[in-house]
Structure 1
Amino acid sequence: MTQEPMAHPQIFDHDTLRLRRARRQPDAMFLHDMARDEVEDRLSMVNRVFTKPAIVAPFAEPWEGMLPGAKLVPDSEVIDLKPGSHDVLVHVMGLHWANDPVGQLIQCRRALQDDGLLLMVTLGGQTLHELRSALAEAETYISGGLSPRVAPMGEIRDLGALLQRAGFALPVADVVPLTVQYRDLTHLMHDLRAMGETNTMSARLRKPTPRSLFELANHIYRQNFSAESGKLNATFELVCLTGWSPAESQPQPLRPGSAKMRLADALRVPEGNLPEEE
């Protein structure tokens, strides 16, 4: 008897996520603007002309016009892209909400032609660590327990390993940190709501949170994570992932210590663009 494949845990409630994204405010899209800058910068360093681009993103507006002729689709659980139809695929600001992140990456690889490029930007594990810490301490003090309030996000090593699990060649992961200052906890929470990035975990509490918890969390936050100006520091971590759909023409990995390939060839950039040694 054939067994049904096991369903992935539904960590996130995507119906709620869609509703909250629908209430986003255009003036709160600074993370998407920063992600676009990173994508454009990395694409400018790739020594290749792409003619069949695709962009997977939760919102269309920040990405319109970036890659002429690109097919723009939402970051749904089943990505609306045909197999082998694109030579570059940009997946932005959605992986941290995926219930099956490996499945998202596998779908991206299948949508790429041989030797096609994936460029992905997602939020990393240090994002909002100050908020997570302050809320956890306040809730432990008030109720004696913890509830899911800030979504878990992947660390850079884990995200880089996902590229390999999904079958990408030449995987690279790097981090772009950003610190934003807010007047108080309420200001930060309002901004997250305007971004469509508030808590949509399936296990979240469904009853109102007492005001006293947020007041205590604001005090703890200010005591531990204040800037010299008195405002609250909030960390956002953009993790940039790149990988190539496997192809026979690509360089193959060698035994440790036996590398003979030029760095310029590995990075696919003109040799004159390599950084000079100090």
Structure 2
Amino acid sequence: MTPDLTDRKALTLHRARASALFLQEEALFEVQDRLSEVNKSFTDKRVVTGFPQVWADFPTIPDAETLDLRPESLDLVVHAMGLHWANDPVGQLVQCRRALRPDGLFIGLMFGGQTLSELRASLGQAEAEVTGGLSPRVLPMAEIRDLGGLLQRAGFALPVADGFTKTVLYRDAFHLMRDLRAMGEGNALQARLRRPTARAVFGRAAEIYAQSYATPEGLIKASFEIITLTGWAPHETQQKPLRPGSAVSRLEDALKAAVKPD
């Protein structure tokens, strides 16, 4: 049996203390923008989220390992910024797919593999220099090229994976790490160290970060890649893919292809 990647108890505690939700709000704006492109009304919808306060205009459920969703009960499911913490992301997608009626829409948002690339590199180099080894500190995240395939495995039609990167400026690495805790995105890995890290590791990481990723103004850059997954519950009216295994359609085409004329 594969061990869990995420310590769900620690993740829940981190989220309960979260106060900086600007990236969660970014996800909300992204969903609203995408829904505005769809010529279709959604009457039965759910948002799967660990931050229901951000989604006040949507009915929400927690992003537990087993989702509180009934089969074929919804026409829209949004999985909002929690898939990167899922111990079974394909299982989460399958549960969302089964909850949709035919021609229902799924939108999933998650952090992608380029997220915190600067912090990963700085911490890795610092820990190797100071301790001679590496420990799990930053959540491993999927690459966008692999995620369209996950949608297909879960049974979605017209799968599309796309994304964008938001760059945020901080005073230093310590400011960034404090902000990650305020986002509820602190280290909740099951395999994380359970003892305090030597201060020298973080001090050296801050030096490397400032040397390698500073702006001319002396701030440091932190990258957050937000990937959006879009798929439809299969329906006979939908456009058929040209070849199996393809997930390269433009988002606009995929959204419009699944919408029936009024």
TM-score of the two chains, using structure 1 as the length reference:
0.87
Residues 1:8 and 1:81: Cα distance change in structure 2 (over 3 Å): farther
SS in 2 for 1:120: strand
Q: Which residue of 2 aligns with 1:22?
A: 16
- 1:228 to partner: Cα distance: 1.4
Residues 1:22 and 1:267: Cα distance change in structure 2 (over 3 Å): closer
Q: Which residue of 2 aligns with 1:163?
A: 151
Q: Which structure is larger by alpha-carbon Rg, 1 or 2?
A: 1
Residues 1:107 and 1:137: Cα distance change in structure 2 (over 3 Å): same
Q: Which residue of 2 aligns with 1:61?
A: 53
Report the Cα distance in structure 1 between the residues aligned to 2:116 and 2:94, rounded to whole angstroms.
28
SS in 2 for 1:117: strand
Structure 1 gaps of 5+ residues are 1-6, 257-262, 270-278
SS in 1 for 2:118: helix
Contact 1:8 1:100 in 2 (8 A): no
Contact 2:160 2:254 in 1 (8 A): no
Look up the equivalent residue of 1:12 and give its one-letter code: T
Report the Cα distance in structure 2 between the residues aligned to 1:129 and 1:91, rounded to whole angstroms.
24
Q: Which residue of 2 aligns with 1:36?
A: 28
Report the Cα distance in structure 2 between the residues aligned to 1:136 and 1:207, rounded to whole angstroms.
18
Residues 1:195 and 1:264: Cα distance change in structure 2 (over 3 Å): closer
Residues 1:146 and 1:266: Cα distance change in structure 2 (over 3 Å): closer
1:75 to 63, 67, 76: 63
Report the Cα distance in structure 2 between the residues aligned to 1:250 and 1:95, rounded to whole angstroms.
27
1:65-214 alignment runs, 5 A limit: 65=57, 70-214=58-202
Residues 1:265 and 1:150: Cα distance change in structure 2 (over 3 Å): closer
Report the Cα distance in structure 2 between the residues aligned to 1:116 and 1:23, rounded to whole angstroms.
34
SS in 2 for 1:268: helix
Report the Cα distance in structure 1 between the residues aligned to 2:120 and 2:243, rounded to whole angstroms.
42
- 1:133 to partner: Cα distance: 0.3
SS in 1 for 2:46: strand
Contact 2:156 2:233 in 1 (8 A): yes
Contact 1:168 1:244 in 2 (8 A): yes
Report the Cα distance in structure 2 between the residues aligned to 1:196 and 1:90, rounded to whole angstroms.
19
- 1:264 to partner: Cα distance: 7.3
Report the Cα distance in structure 1 between the residues aligned to 2:154 and 2:231, rounded to whole angstroms.
10
SS in 1 for 2:211: helix
Residues 1:267 and 1:24: Cα distance change in structure 2 (over 3 Å): closer
Look up the equivalent residue of 1:245 and give its one-letter code: A
- 1:255 to partner: Cα distance: 5.1
The reply to whether residue 45 of structure 1 matches residue 33 of structure 2 is: no
Residues 1:232 and 1:255: Cα distance change in structure 2 (over 3 Å): closer
Contact 2:16 2:184 in 1 (8 A): yes
- 1:142 to partner: Cα distance: 0.8
- 1:253 to partner: Cα distance: 2.1
Report the Cα distance in structure 2 between the residues aligned to 1:150 and 1:240, rounded to whole angstroms.
21
* Number of aligned residue pairs: 251
Look up the equivalent residue of 1:64 and give its one-letter code: A
Q: Which residue of 2 aligns with 1:274?
A: none
SS in 2 for 1:146: coil
TM-score of the two chains, using structure 2 as the length reference:
0.92
Q: CA deviation digits over 1:77-121, x for unaligned, max 9?
A: 000011111001111010000000000000000010011000111
Structure 2 gaps of 5+ residues are 245-250, 258-262
